[in-house]
Structure 1
Amino acid sequence: MLTEVEIIKRLVLASFIGYMIGFDREKYKKPAGGRTHALICLASAMTVILGIKISERYPNIDPLRVSAQIVSGLSFIGVGTILKGKHGGVIGLTTATTLLTICVVGLACGAGYYLVSIVGAVLIEVILHVGSITYKRHKSLDDTEEEEDNED
C-alpha cells in the first residue's frame, strides 16, 4: 500500500526530472519546454499511482490499462510538434520523441522505480547533448563542403 509520503516523493521526483529535461530543451530554443515536460512526467506518474490505488480498491481492474492510455494520448501531442521543414526535412521529431520518453520516465517514477527514472533522465540528457554536438559538427562539415563546391 502506498503511503502519502511515498506518493509525494514519486510525484515530486517526476515533476523535477520532467522540468529539468524540458528546461534544457527550452534553453536551446526548442519547442515544449520545462513546464510541458514537467506536466507530462507528472501526469504519467499520477496515472500509475492512480492505477495502483484503484487496483487496491478493485482487485479485478488492471492497473496498467490507465497508464497505457496516457502513452496513446501523448502521441497526439507529439505529432503536433512535428513539422515539415523548408527543404523537405522533418522538424520537431526529437521534441516529440523526448516527450514520449519523458512520459515513460514519469511512468517509472509513479511505479516507484527511482533508479530507472534517474538513469533514464541522465541518458536522455546525454543523448540530447551528444546528438546536438554531432549535429553541429555534421552541419559545419556540410557547410564547408558546400563552400568548396561553390569555389569550383
Structure 2
Amino acid sequence: MKEDLIIKQLTEKFGSGISETSNPSPRRMFATVNKEILNEVIKYLRDTFNFYHLSTITGVDKGDFELNYHFANELTCVTLRVTVPRAEPNINSICEVIPGAVLYEREIQDMYGIKVANIPDGRPLVTSDDWPEDNYPLRKDWTFERPKEVIPGEQNGD
C-alpha cells in the first residue's frame, strides 16, 4: 500500500475537509481533518485501507487544542489532526466507528476539558471523583498549588 495513494484518495473524497497532508517518511502520514467529518474519514480509512487499530489519541494545547488520532494497519501509520477551539472545547466521539476509543476520549475529557459528545461512558478516567471542576492538568494555563510540606511532629503549621 502506498502512502501517496491513501493521501490522494483522502483528498479526492473529502476535498476541503482535509486541509493539509504530509508523508514525511516511509510508512508515516499526517492529515489535518475538519472535526465535523472526523468520523466519516475514520470510517473510510477503516473500511478502505484496514486502519482498524487506534494506537492512541494525543492532545496538544496550542492555544486551541490539537487532537491527534494515531492509526495503524499492517503496513503503515496515519495520524489525523483535528483542531478543537479553546472557546468551544467539544468534539464528537469516534466510538461508533472505533469502540475502543472510549478510554482515550475519557482521558482527553479529564486532562484537557474537551467535552466528547456521544461518548458511551463519560465517567472520569484519571481524575478522582472529588477532583475540582474546571481543573485540567494538561492545559498550559493550569496551575498547581502544592500542598504545604508536612513535617512529622508539626501540627497546624506550628
The TM-score with structure 2 as length reference comes to: 0.26
Higher helix share: 1
Structure in which a larger fraction of residues adopt strand: 2
